């Protein structure tokens, strides 16, 4: 939505008016990149700048959505009952750590030992 209107009202007229007529009689292609002749002196540079504008806009909205998501996720995690709120499932444990004691030692080095309440290898 945010990008559609500016891109359509900016790029389509450029293709139609200054594209060079590469689309021929194809009326629909006169509005898109198909109407831009090969080695156009400046229109390909406009597209390159436009791509960077789209990338920056998408990056901005993704970062904003991530911040919003993280706030909701932290609230959701805080409301979750124990033990589900702090349970971790691990796959592909190296053979050297496939016992409760070895796995507890591993996590006790990463986290504070008192934070590791229970370890169960199945």
Alpha carbons within 13 A on the beta-carbon side of 78? 6
> Which string of DSSP letters, residue by residue, matches 53-86?
HHHHHHHHHHHHHHHHHHHHHHHHHHHSPTTGGG
Give the pLDDT confidence of 8-21 residue by residue, as tens digits. Answer: 999 999 999 999 99
Q: Which two tokens stand for residue 59?
A: 């990056």
Show pLDDT as tens, one digit a residue, over the chain (122 residues). Answer: 789 988 999 999 999 999 999 999 999 999 999 999 999 999 999 999 999 999 999 999 999 999 999 999 999 989 998 888 788 899 999 888 899 999 999 999 999 999 898 899 98
pTM for this entry: 0.66
pLDDT for residue 83 = 82
């Amino acid at each position: 939505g945010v990008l559609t209107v500016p891109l359509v009202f900016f790029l389509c007229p450029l293709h139609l008016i200054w594209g060079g007529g590469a689309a021929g009689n194809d009326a629909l292609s006169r509005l898109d990149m198909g109407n831009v002749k090969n080695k156009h002196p400046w229109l390909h540079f406009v597209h390159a700048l436009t791509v960077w504008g789209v990338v920056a806009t998408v990056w901005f909205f993704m970062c904003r959505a991530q911040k919003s998501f993280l706030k909701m996720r932290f609230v959701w995690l805080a409301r979750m009952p124990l033990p589900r709120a702090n349970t971790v499932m691990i796959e592909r444990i190296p053979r050297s750590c496939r016992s409760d004691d070895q796995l507890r030692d591993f996590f006790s080095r990463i986290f504070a030992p008192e934070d590791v309440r229970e370890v169960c290898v199945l």
